[in-house]
Amino acid sequence: MTSTSNELTVDVIIIGGGPTGENVADRAVQGGLTAAIVERELVGGECSYWACMPTKALLRDAAVLRAARALPAAGKAITGTLDPSAVFTRRDQFASSWDDSGQVEWLDSAGITLVRGHGRITGTRTVTATTDDGATTTLKARHAVVVATGSAALIPPVSGLADANPWTNREAAGATSVPDRLAIIGGGVVGAEMASAFTALGSLVTLVSRTRLLPSVEEFAGEQVADTLRENGATLHVDVDAVDVRRDDSGEVHLTLSDDTEVTADEVLVATGRVPNTKDLGLEHVGLEPGSWLEVDDALAVVGGDGQLESGWLYAAGDVNHRALLTHHGKYQARALGDLIAARARGDEPDLSKWGRHAATADEQAVTQVIFTDPEVIAVGHTAESAEAAGIEVGVVDFDLGSIAGASLHADGYTGHARMVLDEERKVLVGFTAVGPDTAEMLHAATIAVVGEVPLDRLWHAVPAYPTMSEIWLRLLETAGRDR
Ligand SMILES: Cc1cc2nc3c(=O)[nH]c(=O)nc-3n(C[C@H](O)[C@H](O)[C@H](O)COP(=O)(O)OP(=O)(O)OC[C@H]3O[C@@H](n4cnc5c(N)ncnc54)[C@H](O)[C@@H]3O)c2cc1C
Ligand SMILES: NC(=O)c1ccc[n+]([C@@H]2O[C@H](COP(=O)([O-])OP(=O)(O)OC[C@H]3O[C@@H](n4cnc5c(N)ncnc54)[C@H](O)[C@@H]3O)[C@@H](O)[C@H]2O)c1
């Protein structure tokens, strides 16, 4: 059988049909351009099938159960335990049973062309997509090529680990049974969320972390999550590395830690960060290093290379540019970039000023994140430490979230904490972090305050309703003092 080869010319080619790629294409089409997405696996990307959605579905039932158990009468009404198979069934729905036909329908309805296959840059404004059976499509872009190929789990060079058949986020998100004993290497967001999920599902979890738990957020938040994990039966080894991992003939996995502790488990999950999906992308054709994160300028145009990129036709958005490895930030970049490519195609100058239409300023000043652990962590903008490092005149204001009337109504024994980080010179909020059950939906108020650079004296006029947990804002302001 001979393989087929096709040719296609469009205005914009997007390699990678994850949330970022889909949104770049959508905005470009809305801007009057034609767009084609090249996707080698499932349209919808890591987020839809092996990351955000399925993992949050694994966590949700346990969160509801906990909330009910925190109230005496509701708690009494709960007579059973969590049924993992029912959790997995609902998770399957949220991963669309790993079938992307719904997303493909959406692409059709949005007027975006889908080309199945592995995309490689083969020249200036040229991408070749190759399917598993060797069929190729050569795509030419009139205006731009966007790399939105995302990231994959990093398997660190720990002796024996790669041969021990470790789980990555894919096996954890798609688990069909609950291991009796689960070892997790990595105490970042994936490690902490999956420790919460599998502890609730019934695994005996042992988490090994090189750093304190959740090192990217304020220390108090990681500490409360660590305390809760321990209370729920997990074992945490912090400030140690896994140095050796072996799976024996019986299927058990044995980990040796840098402090000589031995851990035995049924499965080991690697959650030690991400690598960019750029290894086999043809980057060498434009003088870039295969396997590297793609560095971009303010317009999200890829910088470096051997001179072929000078006319600014190659862009990178989402995880692959390493600005903020979060779906909502990838989509935010995508909206700015799709509009920017359309503007440049019309001959218009993009608006790259701070907070301008085509600038992804929030990636630098207001990254938002909800960590769906037990309890949840919410964060926007700076931590006290990162504000200090950025040369800001830092003011830190803390308050006990559990002492807010709304929180004590929400759950008996509610425990939580909140911090605002102030720029004392400009008298604005530059960061906010809180930890506590059911805080996720409280994040956006903080985001608006940070992005809007709302002066502190105006924030006093944003009156939180009584008795809600949002009264934390009033208490933080009172603690800061009106004449600060
Ligand atoms: C366990 C886990 C949980 C997470 N939870 C959250 C969360 O709750 N909230 C949140 O905001 N973020 C979360 N994230 C992060 C989030 O998943 C990523 O930030 C997001 O998926 C990035 O989107 P993207 O479009 O840039 O890349 P991806 O979603 O990785 O999509 C890239 C697409 O490109 C395709 N591709 C790659 N190379 C090629 C090629 N050469 N040719 C053709 N196609 C290619 C891939 O098949 C994929 O479909 C989580 C991550 C993990 C690992
Ligand atoms: N709710 C969410 O928003 C959400 C959920 C999951 C993942 N994500 C995103 O996915 C990305 C990847 O998450 P992640 O947890 O894999 O990475 P991460 O960078 O957040 O954490 C990795 C952790 O592993 C540790 N580590 C690295 N090598 C190690 C080793 N050899 N031994 C022991 N520990 C080691 C690091 O010190 C770090 O604490 C994050 O950037 C995160 O933003 C977001």
Token pair in block for residue 310:
């000078």
CATH code for the domain in which residue 33 is found: 3.50.50.60
Ligand 1, from 327, 370, 373, 380: best to mutate by most atoms within 8 Å of Cβ?
327
Rounded CA separation 259/264 (Å): 15
> Residue 132, exposed/middle/buried by CB under 10 A (0-12, 13-18, 19+)?
exposed
The range of the structural domain enclosing residue 138 comes to: 5-49+95-152+276-362
Residue type for position 393: E
Token pair in block for residue 245:
């991992």
Distance 176 CA to ligand 2 centre (A): 23
Residue 403 lies in a domain: yes
Distance 221 CA to ligand 1 centre (A): 25
Looking at the fold, whether 358 and 389 belong to one and the same domain comes out as: no
What confidence tens digit (pLDDT) does each residue in 227-284 have? 999 999 999 999 999 999 999 999 999 999 999 999 999 999 999 999 999 999 999 9
* Number of domains the chain contains: 3
Ligand 1, from 20, 24, 52, 283: best to mutate by most atoms within 8 Å of Cβ?
52
CATH code for the domain in which residue 395 is found: 3.30.390.30
Token pair in block for residue 209:
């972390």
What confidence tens digit (pLDDT) does each residue in 400-428 have? 999 999 999 999 999 999 999 999 999 99
| pTM for this entry | 0.97
Looking at the fold, whether 235 and 218 belong to one and the same domain comes out as: yes
Residue 79 lies in a domain: no
What confidence tens digit (pLDDT) does each residue in 83-122 have? 999 999 999 999 999 999 999 999 999 999 999 999 999 9
pLDDT for 2: 65
Of 362, 390, 415, the position where a domain reaches its end is: 362
Looking at the fold, whether 21 and 148 belong to one and the same domain comes out as: yes
Residue type for position 41: E
**Nearest CA owner, ligand 1 atom 2:** 51
Token pair in block for residue 375:
């309890």
Residue 72 lies in a domain: no
Residue 246 lies in a domain: yes
Q: What are phi and psi of 434, to 5 degrees?
A: -140, 155
Looking at the fold, whether 223 and 209 belong to one and the same domain comes out as: yes
Token pair in block for residue 297:
């300028």
Looking at the fold, whether 147 and 21 belong to one and the same domain comes out as: yes
User: Of 400, 421, 390, 422, which is closest to residue 472 (Cα–Cα)?
Assistant: 400
Token pair in block for residue 230:
């321990």
- Share the mean pLDDT of the chain: 97
Looking at the fold, whether 337 and 250 belong to one and the same domain comes out as: no
Looking at the fold, whether 264 and 293 belong to one and the same domain comes out as: no
| Dihedral sign from CA coordinates of 262, 263, 268, 271 | negative
Of 222, 245, 272, the position where a domain reaches its end is: 272
CA Rg, the chain, in Å? Answer: 24
pLDDT for 308: 85
ipTM for the complex? 0.97
pLDDT for 341: 98
Give 130's strand partners: 118, 136
Residue 54 CB less than 6 A away from ligand 2:
no
Looking at the fold, whether 201 and 337 belong to one and the same domain comes out as: no
In three-state form (DSSP H/G/I as H, E/B as E, the rest C), the secondary structure along the chain is CCCCEEEEEEEEEEECCCHHHHHHHHHHHHCCCCEEEEECCCCCHHHHHHCHHHHHHHHHHHHHHHHHHCCHHHHHHCCCCCCHHHHHHHHHHHCHHHCCHHHHHHHHHCCCEEEECEEEEEECCEEEEECCCCCEEEEEEEEEEEECCCEEECCCCCECCHHHCCECHHHHHCCCCCCCEEEEECCCHHHHHHHHHHHHHCCEEEEEECCCCCCCCCHHHHHHHHHHHHHCCCEEEECCCEEEEEECCCCCEEEEECCCCEEEECEEEECCCEEECCCCCCHHHHCCCCCCCCCECCCCEECCCCCCCCCCCEEECHHHHCCCCCHHHHHHHHHHHHHHHHHHHHCCCCCCCCCCCCCCCHHHHCCEEEECCCCCEEEEECCHHHHHHCCCCEEEEEEEHHHCHHHHHHCCCCCCEEEEEEECCCCEEEEEEEECCCCHHHHHHHHHHHHCCCEHHHHCCCCCCCCCHHHHHHHHHHHHCCCC
Rounded CA separation 333/358 (Å): 9
Looking at the fold, whether 243 and 295 belong to one and the same domain comes out as: no
pLDDT for 223: 98
Rounded CA separation 194/59 (Å): 8
Q: Which residue's entry shows tokens 């800001």?
A: 392
Please measure the distance between the N-terminal and C-terminal CA atoms of the chain and give it in whole angstroms. Answer: 77
Distance 18 CA to ligand 1 centre (A): 6
Distance 292 CA to ligand 2 centre (A): 18
Of 316, 336, 362, the position where a domain reaches its end is: 362
- Closest atom, ligand 1, to C-alpha of 369: 11
Looking at the fold, whether 33 and 144 belong to one and the same domain comes out as: yes
Distance 343 CA to ligand 1 centre (A): 27
Q: Using 50 as the pLDDT threshold, list the residues of the chain that sit under it.
A: none
Residue 349 lies in a domain: yes
Residue 284 lies in a domain: yes
Ligand 1, from 26, 46, 155: best to mutate by most atoms within 8 Å of Cβ?
46
Token pair in block for residue 225:
């999550």
Looking at the fold, whether 331 and 430 belong to one and the same domain comes out as: no
Distance 456 CA to ligand 1 centre (A): 37
Residue 59 lies in a domain: no
User: Of 360, 291, 282, which is closest to residue 314 (Cα–Cα)?
Assistant: 282
Q: What are phi and psi of 311, to 5 degrees?
A: -75, 0
Residue 68 lies in a domain: no
Looking at the fold, whether 142 and 175 belong to one and the same domain comes out as: no
pLDDT for 1: 55
